[in-house]
Chains A and B, each alone.
Chain A
Amino acid sequence: MYSKEVMEHFQHPHNMGEIKNPDGVGTVGNPQCGDVMKIFIKVEKGKDGKERLKDIKVQTYGCVAALATSSMITDLAMGKTLDEALKISNKQIAEALKGLPPIKMHCSVLAADALHSAIEDYRKKGARRIQPKESKAKARR
């Protein structure tokens, strides 16, 4: 029922855990339905002035598909700008995993929602806290 890619991510999920002092956190899902995902992000501003996902970690409670999709989204989003990350759709996650059983498609929706909600959380908290990497050097000049 599950693709090789799904089983690989399930068996060895990427970026599991939490980030201490994260810039944003997104929790989605409902334990009643058997799936909860909590995504932690760390954001940095690059030379181009764009905010990027420097680190992502996820904690997942759920079935095989929940674990695999949450692992996959951390791979897909790592290093992306926030705008790019927000464009990652659940369909992309499912495709990257070489498909999900129709009944498990909601797991990919959860994974995308969890990331979007972490980014929103970051933006709400005030993105201004994060300064461009080069700001100090520039100031010295």
Chain B
Amino acid sequence: MKRIYLDHAATTAVAKEVFQAMQPFFSEKYGNASSLYSLGREAKEAIEDSRAIAAKVIGAEPREIIFTSGGSESDNMVLRGIPEAGDHIITSAFEHHAVLHTCQALEKEGVKVTYLPVTKDGFVRTEDVKKAITKNTKLISIMHANNEIGTIQPIAEIGKICRESGVLFHTDAVQTYGKIPIDIKNIDFLSASGHKLYGPKGIGCLYMKSGVSLKPLITGGSQEHKMRAGTENAAGIVGFGKASELAMKNMGKEAAYETKLRDMLIDDVLRIEDSWLNGSRKNRLPNNTNLGFDYIEGESIILHLDIKGIAASTGSACSSESLTPSHVLTAIGLSPVKAHGSLRMTLGKDNTKEEINYVLGVLPGIVENLRKISPMKLARR
């Protein structure tokens, strides 16, 4: 059976060109980038080339890029590296768990955290950010685009507010780096990840504006400007660089293509009775759809899709470790019942119109069959 992959917000396949670029750095160019002989220098050069590309994607200087193991580490570096007990930080209620759970851990260490509410369309209000700032506020962390519902946050405005208030600003751009343009003018820290853009897992970076600093998470050697110790993951970094290069080259084209498929998917699915779109249709990631269906539960939908060869994910966390409904969907005001009935399909550059038509052919039947056996007739939004 052919497989249709519609979970690009979770991870992506490593692109052929990326894999090829990485290969020599395992058994041939295996030098430690800190070594002075040519084998080491070769690795060092490749790493610096990738750093320059990553910087170029967001219009930064190469020295402002610190390679990390990925988005979660980059988020942790900033959140754990800036505030101290007694300080205040601001974030939103629907951040990725890498930010939210870290904030909760910081609260236990005496850091005060404000979790801003979001609108039912899925946006942080800039007025709320302004109002929440106190004289003790050290850092504001608001994601660029939400990973579940794809809404793009007003980070330019929030960055401006931060600058005017003298507060540091961090944004988790894991879903947007290399996919949509990012203006870093008023951003002090930005987290990015390789595996969301056809690069390998286990590699990402933190953009850190020159002039600002933080307390490193991992101490040891002097790699990455003493900000992140440990022998560099040269193969991963080269893969990240190649993936960034390809993403930069194809950014506009891919976004336009995915937007077309996305709209086709949304419009057609919404013809199913008692269904809805989670998150605003405007200011939404080109590849994100998050649809809700009354009377049925998300995990059952995704496993029926899986049987048909379609990989998607649920808005509800039922399929993972936790049984509580998605914190993102409850943050935008969905009742737990509504939140349980959600399906996230996120597109990629290799999806085709035929694939979307196939999905549109099987999804209504799956929804109908699950509704037939459901006792939930009276659920209301």
Chain A contacts to B: CB under 8 angstroms: 7, 10-11, 13, 16-17, 27, 31-38, 58-64, 66-67, 103
Contact = CB atoms under 8 A, between A and B. Distances in A.
A103 B321 contact: yes
Nearest to B316: A34
A59 B323 contact: no
B373 A62 contact: no
B303 interface: yes
Interface string B358-381: 000000000000001111100100
Given A31-B379, A34-B318, A59 B374 contact: yes
Contact of A66 (B297, B321, B336, B337): B297
Given A59-B375, A60-B375, A61-B375, A31 B337 contact: yes
Interface of B: 295-297, 299-300, 303-304, 307, 316, 318-319, 321, 323, 325, 335-337, 340, 372-376, 379
A34 B375 contact: no
A10 B300 contact: yes
A103 B337 CA distance: 19
6 contacts: A31-B376, A34-B316, A38-B375, A63-B319, A66-B297, A67-B300
Main DSSP-derived SS at the A contact region: mixed
A80 to B, nearest CB: 23
A138 to B, nearest CB: 40
A59 B295 CA distance: 11
A125 B304 CA distance: 39
A27 B374 CA distance: 12
Nearest to B338: A31
B326 to A, nearest CB: 11
Nearest to B319: A63
A41 to B, nearest CB: 15
Contacts of B325: 34
Given A35-B297, A36-B374, 8 more contacts: A27-B375, A31-B376, A31-B379, A33-B336, A36-B376, A59-B375, A61-B297, A103-B321
B375 A32 contact: no
